[in-house]
Structure 1
Amino acid sequence: MNKTLLYLSIFLLSVTGAFAQRFATLKGTINTSDGKPAESVSVGLKNSSIGAITDADGRFQFTRIKPGTYTIKVSAVGLTAEEKEITVTAGSTTVVDFSLRESANQLNEVSVTDRRKRYKIDNPSPSLRLGEPLLQVPQNIQVVSSDQLKDQQIFNMLEGAARNVSGLVPQEHWGNYALIYGRGDRIVGFRNGMNIEASWGPLNEDMSFVDRIEFVKGPAGFMLANGNPSGFYNIVTKKPTGVTRQSFDFTAGSFNTYRGTADLDGVLTGNGKLQYRLNLVGQSSKSFRPYDFTDRIGVAPVLRYKFDDKNTLTAEYSYQYQKMNAFGTGYLFSTKGYNDLPREFTNAPANSPDSKINDHSAYLTFEHKFSDKWKVTAQGAYFNYKQIGYSYWINSIKDNGDVDRNLGLWDAINRNKLGQAFVNGEVTTGAVIHRLLGGVDIGDKYYIADYNQSGSLDPVTPFNIYHPDNKAVTLPVFDRETPLSERGKGTVSTEKYQSVYLQDELGFFNQQLRFTIAGRFTHAITTDPYSGDTESRQVTPRLGISYSLNDATSFYGVYDQAFLPQNGNIFGGGKVKPVTGNNFELGAKRDWFGGKWNTTLSVYRILKNNQLTADPDKHGDPAASYVIQLGQTKTQGIEFDARGQITTALNLMFNYAYTSSAISKDTDPANVGTAVPGFAKYVSNAWLTYRLQEGGLQGLGLSLGYVWQFDRRPWSLAGTSKSDMPNYFRLDAGASYQVQKFSLALNVNNLLNNYLISGGHEDYLSPTGSTVYNWQAEAPTNFRLSVGYRF
């Protein structure tokens, strides 16, 4: 592996030696007349393809500019363009700042009425710690913007945000947390740069307070080493912008769905130092299944105080409350195959009990800039998730459809205490530019649950799925008087870790060629009910190379390692080893037409050792949750992503992925070559939006998109590892209209009314040994109609 990187480095150096030349860097800040940062302003060099959009702080930057004299042009919708003539010299950094004649409110007025949708984001959020454009990062990172989520009317993380990124496959869920697979395994959830993944939580994020979602493919030692080597997604929440603006949206849709949101952004002091952001959401919705419903309330206030140009303190809190039917009512069971039952079928009785979730999170972040090139960030977070609920499953099912339904208690508490501090900096030694990153991460995660109490809903007469009677039944009586700390003693799982990380990205020829050398040391202790304490100490290296052929094209290679402490119950005893994995990846990135849209092509191979999967043999105990430790799995594939503004009127997202994942080593040679669970071999998604720019229907937008998954593997290896899941194709469409401060949007999902599912096998549920299929069905054709007002 290291030899491959060495040969690639020698090749790129030879190319650089033949064609490299000295370049310059151009950067600056654009403010409004009242001193506020001007976001979403176009900046470009006339008579060239070089261009950018200012970020939330009004900043822009161009690297690798050829020496010479240029005219830099600044423009935004409704504003008079401003130009400046500049001269740049080789090896220098030129700073050009602009002050627009308009105030922040005036800029907001015009941008609100005719702001172009932005599907392409050029730079990672500060929470990813990478102080460079995504085009230069030696890794496949795809960013889904809030504009894109809004166009698709995605309400929460369960509803298809993953469709916007190649190779990701959402699996069925319990209604509380998102389960997304990519590159052969589940990808981990982060929020604002912190790993918040926990047992059965926390509650999936409502999109009302989400600014963007960053999907990072493969291991990423610059974030955390003790995570799944398949990758993670980072939810970036909305922060104050320093510009006063408000928006309100109301949505009505199928199945009695009603939803209202508010986004309030502004300043609390005359000098603009104290800023705020407040997002609110309230939602009530039924389901295409009887008795199912989901009600949600969310409050997310943020305060930011800018002491001066160097010091900033941000305090953030979010509260989400969700009330819903008992968990698991969406699961269907049959011995005859998937789709054997109508998708609106339910096993739940008419008096199905409610489940309630209270989810709190708080962040405190301090940033200090020593200079334009050096910054330190310290952040602490606390998560508290409390669940009072019930869950449905079945005790058994016969071939004639007789089912013994089971209702269990599921009360749980999940607490995470997380902290991190990291430094970004840049120094130059001779002709080499060093981008330095160093940090410390600590975490303390705790989960306790009472899922030990359960009882049959059909103790005398079975429930038959082919002749269902969903009448009210006598519910089991559970003990909630005893504190959860006592009831859940045998279920506690914890994880405590401390890690340090150092990275040096060496830039040659004015950042045309970049080498990354990094490493992380992690100490982790995990505890679970089955195997007690597991202690791990691991050093994980990271090597990367990135080469910019020109200002719009780069090639990269990366080798990264990760490990994942894990616990489980192996039949007959035995210690569960941590997952250890490495990723080798090559790729190419390109910006097109002045950076308006981007493509990424990557090929990769991930080797994972000691991966766990469910043991299909219950060994005589139907209530047991045994696992099998596989020797090694190999996942490899190709991924392609395209996103951005193809023309002034047309925005496009398109992706495609080929994935192959199988057991490559095992104690039983017969298992070698067997596919691992939970992926689709071929996945493709698209979303296209065309908005009329002139004429009587100016502002009218039309959208069309699809989700396609072919050759799917079930999430469970039980019964079979072959591709027995039906292929998946979903077609969606939308129409929207923007006029002045008002907007109107209609989305219709599953236009073809296809029966769409995800699922697996649970063979122990059959007393005769039949294969038991269990699955969740998606909604039939449905719509959402939204109206919005911005000022």
Structure 2
Amino acid sequence: MAGSYDFYRASIDLDGKLDKKGKLLYRFNAAAQNKGSHRAFEHNDRYVIAPVITYQVDDKTKITAEYNFQYANMTEVGSYYVFGPASEGYATLPVGFTMTQPGLPDTNIQDHSGYLMFEHKFDDNWKLTAQTSYFKYLQQGYSSWPSAVGSDDNALGKGNIIRDVGIWDAESNMYLGQIFVNGKFTTGAITHKILGGVDLGSKDYMADWGQSHDLDTPENPFNVYNPNYGTPSNGFPAFDHTTPLSIRAGGKMNSEYAAAYIQDELGFFENKLRLTLAARYTWISQSSFGETQEDSHITPRVGLSYSVTESLAVYGLYDQAFTPQSGIVLDGEVKPLTGNNIEFGIKKDWFDGSWSTSLSAYNILKKNELTSDPMNTPGQQYSVVLGEKRAQGVEFDLRGKIFDGLNLIANYAFTESTVLESNVTTIKEGSIVPGYAKHTANAWLNYTIQGGKLKGLGASIGGTFLDGRQTDSWSVGLEKLPSYFKLDGGLSYETSKFKVTANVFNILDKYLYSGSYYEWLSAYYWQTEAPRNFRVGVTYKF
């Protein structure tokens, strides 16, 4: 695959037998990607390998081992944002403008994950599954964020910025394990589908973001209207990467949990009515830099669904959440996230199943959720315990066949999220929670020629519309994010062995962006999406 802005990607997917009897099977995925950007000096290159080995011991027992490795080499975190004074608002600079400094070392990420799974079927009704996994994340790199943004109201002056670079070295480890049993049986006219097991986990994270360096000086700042990408006036940073991270980080954030759960799905009236009853007991231990809290809770889950006809079903669901959180708070303590969810829905098939629709409504309450501290200065990563918030909304999905070869997929979501109780003086009750769009709509139309000499030739077009977009921070500026519309499309041709695709993104070549107001800097920041761009790809099956 290749495309605009120096995008190149090659991938391979192999599978087969490693022995004559077919008991030892393998699958191997690998990919290499070089990706530039519509902004200068920015790139994100990734390399992935993912081998899987499965051994079928006998008709009842199977063992699977999997390893995934991803390596990323990219421009520093935050390079994609640009800043402007509060008096100017959003999108006042060209879509390809960048504030990043060429010559900064790349940020490197190594992401390892390993899985081991054991499955054993006792008979046609009962199966045991045991699985364990390990995840290791290593990052050595940088993040960029200004320490000052000039305007008509301060001495730095409009258009002038002091760019700051901070270190961001990090390491995390996760050890997870589950063992559970699936089974089914009947008691009279009632069917039962049983799921029960235990779930164990241990996670730790440490990071150094305590070193920072201003690239520019007040006497010689970076000017967005006349940018100079030569050697910065204050020179490049010389951060300490050699001292062990455990010393530089000052400690770890840890969480451990152990849980046991049981679920029974009962079927009545020949399984037309299904009642799900479940409960989970969870114990959690959390610690941040030596301070430890423990808690436990039982979370229930109840679901009810009914098939009115073969093509119409309704359902309702209630469940609770109790999950660990990690973060650094200046005041108070980190508690587990708790909450509950109520959801109702209806699903309907039309015209002998060629069309389907679903409509759902939900109400989610969350307590003690961590969120970024609105008073963070550049480089700070502190969190605050919000209190209680509510998210509620409606979702609608539609998919179907207009005629042979022509298919439509469309969906719409209405979302509203507000703060019900606040522990933070700068976040008021009734405040809108950042980071979502009130109205989200997507539609995708695809046509493939079904016969003749042009069989396999296809065309597609689709768009995304967002309205009522909330910014991604708690700071409130005078300017809101505008409505968003993006149109994409493509052509394809497929035979039994070959597939060729050509896609165009942002067909209308619109200036698309997301961002927020940052109160500490009295500035707006935003991240642009690429203008009109394309990708072509060739796939061969053998």
* Inter-CA distance 465–670: structure 2 relative to 1 (3 Å threshold): closer
* Inter-CA distance 578–761: structure 2 relative to 1 (3 Å threshold): farther
Q: Contact 2:427/2:474 (CA < 8 Å) preserved in 1? A: no
1:309 Cα offset (Å): 1.9
- Please tell me whether residue 513 in structure 1 is matched to residue 291 in structure 2: no
Tell me how far apart the structure 1 counterparts of residues 33 and 382 of structure 2 sit (CA, whole Å). 39
Q: Name 1:631's counterpart in structure 2.
A: 387
CA deviations on 1:696-746 (whole Å, 9 max, x unpaired) are: 2111000001111101111211135x8811211100001000134111100
Q: Name 1:534's counterpart in structure 2.
A: 293
Q: Name 1:91's counterpart in structure 2.
A: none
Q: Contact 1:515/1:546 (CA < 8 Å) preserved in 2? A: yes
CA deviations on 1:44-85 (whole Å, 9 max, x unpaired) are: xxxxxxxxxxxxxxxxxxxxxxxxxxxxxxxxxxxxxxxxxx
User: Does the residue aligned with 2:35 lie in a helix, a strand or coil?
Assistant: strand
* Inter-CA distance 731–324: structure 2 relative to 1 (3 Å threshold): same
Long gaps (5+) in structure 2:
152-157
Which one of the candidate residues 210, 232, 240 is aligned to 1:479? 240
1:270 Cα offset (Å): 1.9
- Please tell me whether residue 377 in structure 1 is matched to residue 122 in structure 2: no
Alignment of 1:679-698 (within 5 A): 679-698=436-455
The amino acid of 1:552's aligned partner reads S
Q: Contact 1:334/1:773 (CA < 8 Å) preserved in 2? A: yes
Alignment of 1:62-211 (within 5 A): none
CA deviations on 1:338-365 (whole Å, 9 max, x unpaired) are: 1112121111122132111111111011
1:475 Cα offset (Å): 0.8
Q: Contact 1:286/1:293 (CA < 8 Å) preserved in 2? A: yes
Tell me how far apart the structure 2 counterparts of residues 701 and 524 of structure 1 sit (CA, whole Å). 52
The amino acid of 2:518's aligned partner reads E
Q: Name 2:430's counterpart in structure 1.
A: 673
Which one of the candidate residues 501, 524, 539 is aligned to 2:284? 524
Larger RCO of the pair (alpha carbons < 8 Å, separation 6+): 1
CA deviations on 1:529-588 (whole Å, 9 max, x unpaired) are: 4x83232211111011010112332110000000233355555x2224333211111001
Which one of the candidate residues 733, 741, 758 is aligned to 2:489? 733
Q: Name 2:154's counterpart in structure 1.
A: none
- Normalized against structure 2, the TM-score is what? 0.93
Q: Contact 1:712/1:723 (CA < 8 Å) preserved in 2? A: no
* Inter-CA distance 669–313: structure 2 relative to 1 (3 Å threshold): closer
Q: Name 2:149's counterpart in structure 1.
A: 397
The amino acid of 1:466's aligned partner reads Y
Q: Name 1:259's counterpart in structure 2.
A: 9
Report how many aligned residue pairs link the two structures: 530
1:596 Cα offset (Å): 5.1
* C-alpha RMSD of the superposition: 2.0
Tell me how far apart the structure 1 counterparts of residues 27 and 489 of structure 2 sit (CA, whole Å). 32
Which one of the candidate residues 458, 466, 480 is aligned to 2:225? 466
Which one of the candidate residues 47, 60, 64 is aligned to 1:314? 64
Tell me how far apart the structure 2 counterparts of residues 723 and 430 of structure 1 sit (CA, whole Å). 64
The amino acid of 2:524's aligned partner reads Y
- Please tell me whether residue 497 in structure 1 is matched to residue 257 in structure 2: yes
Q: Contact 2:76/2:144 (CA < 8 Å) preserved in 1? A: yes
Q: Name 1:139's counterpart in structure 2.
A: none
Which one of the candidate residues 38, 59, 68 is aligned to 1:288? 38
Q: Contact 1:616/1:719 (CA < 8 Å) preserved in 2? A: no
User: Does the residue aligned with 2:520 lie in a helix, a strand or coil?
Assistant: helix
User: Does the residue aligned with 1:485 lie in a helix, a strand or coil?
Assistant: helix
Long gaps (5+) in structure 1:
1-250
Q: Contact 2:166/2:379 (CA < 8 Å) preserved in 1? A: no
Q: Contact 1:713/1:723 (CA < 8 Å) preserved in 2? A: no
Q: Name 1:275's counterpart in structure 2.
A: 25
Tell me how far apart the structure 2 counterparts of residues 449 and 628 of structure 1 sit (CA, whole Å). 18
Q: Name 1:715's counterpart in structure 2.
A: 472
Q: Contact 1:543/1:560 (CA < 8 Å) preserved in 2? A: yes
1:646 Cα offset (Å): 5.3
Q: Name 2:310's counterpart in structure 1.
A: 551
Tell me how far apart the structure 2 counterparts of residues 360 and 615 of structure 1 sit (CA, whole Å). 30
Once structures 1 and 2 are overlaid, which stretch shifts more, 333-342 or 700-709? 333-342
Q: Name 2:155's counterpart in structure 1.
A: none
- Please tell me whether residue 748 in structure 1 is matched to residue 504 in structure 2: yes
1:779 Cα offset (Å): 0.7
Tell me how far apart the structure 1 counterparts of residues 420 and 395 of structure 2 sit (CA, whole Å). 22
Q: Name 1:40's counterpart in structure 2.
A: none
* Inter-CA distance 759–522: structure 2 relative to 1 (3 Å threshold): same
The amino acid of 2:297's aligned partner reads Q
Tell me how far apart the structure 2 counterparts of residues 723 and 509 of structure 1 sit (CA, whole Å). 57
* Inter-CA distance 272–440: structure 2 relative to 1 (3 Å threshold): same
Which one of the candidate residues 369, 376, 388 is aligned to 1:611? 369
1:628 Cα offset (Å): 4.0
Which one of the candidate residues 422, 444, 451 is aligned to 2:209? 451
User: Does the residue aligned with 2:340 lie in a helix, a strand or coil?
Assistant: strand
Which one of the candidate residues 70, 88, 94 is aligned to 1:342? 94
Tell me how far apart the structure 2 counterparts of residues 361 and 645 of structure 1 sit (CA, whole Å). 40
CA deviations on 1:118-157 (whole Å, 9 max, x unpaired) are: xxxxxxxxxxxxxxxxxxxxxxxxxxxxxxxxxxxxxxxx
Q: Name 1:8's counterpart in structure 2.
A: none
Q: Contact 1:374/1:423 (CA < 8 Å) preserved in 2? A: yes
The amino acid of 2:447's aligned partner reads Y
* Inter-CA distance 646–442: structure 2 relative to 1 (3 Å threshold): farther
Q: Name 2:77's counterpart in structure 1.
A: 327
Higher helix fraction: Structure 1 or Structure 2? 1
* Inter-CA distance 591–528: structure 2 relative to 1 (3 Å threshold): farther
The amino acid of 1:510's aligned partner reads E
The amino acid of 2:335's aligned partner reads K
Which one of the candidate residues 435, 442, 451 is aligned to 2:193? 435
User: Does the residue aligned with 2:472 lie in a helix, a strand or coil?
Assistant: coil
- Please tell me whether residue 418 in structure 1 is matched to residue 168 in structure 2: no
- Normalized against structure 1, the TM-score is what? 0.65
User: Does the residue aligned with 1:458 lie in a helix, a strand or coil?
Assistant: coil
Q: Contact 1:615/1:718 (CA < 8 Å) preserved in 2? A: no
The amino acid of 2:287's aligned partner reads T
Give the fraction of aligned pairs with identical amino acids, expressed as a percent.
Answer: 47
Tell me how far apart the structure 2 counterparts of residues 747 and 429 of structure 1 sit (CA, whole Å). 55
Tell me how far apart the structure 1 counterparts of residues 123 and 349 of structure 2 sit (CA, whole Å). 30
- Please tell me whether residue 352 in structure 1 is matched to residue 112 in structure 2: no
Tell me how far apart the structure 1 counterparts of residues 35 and 52 of structure 2 sit (CA, whole Å). 28
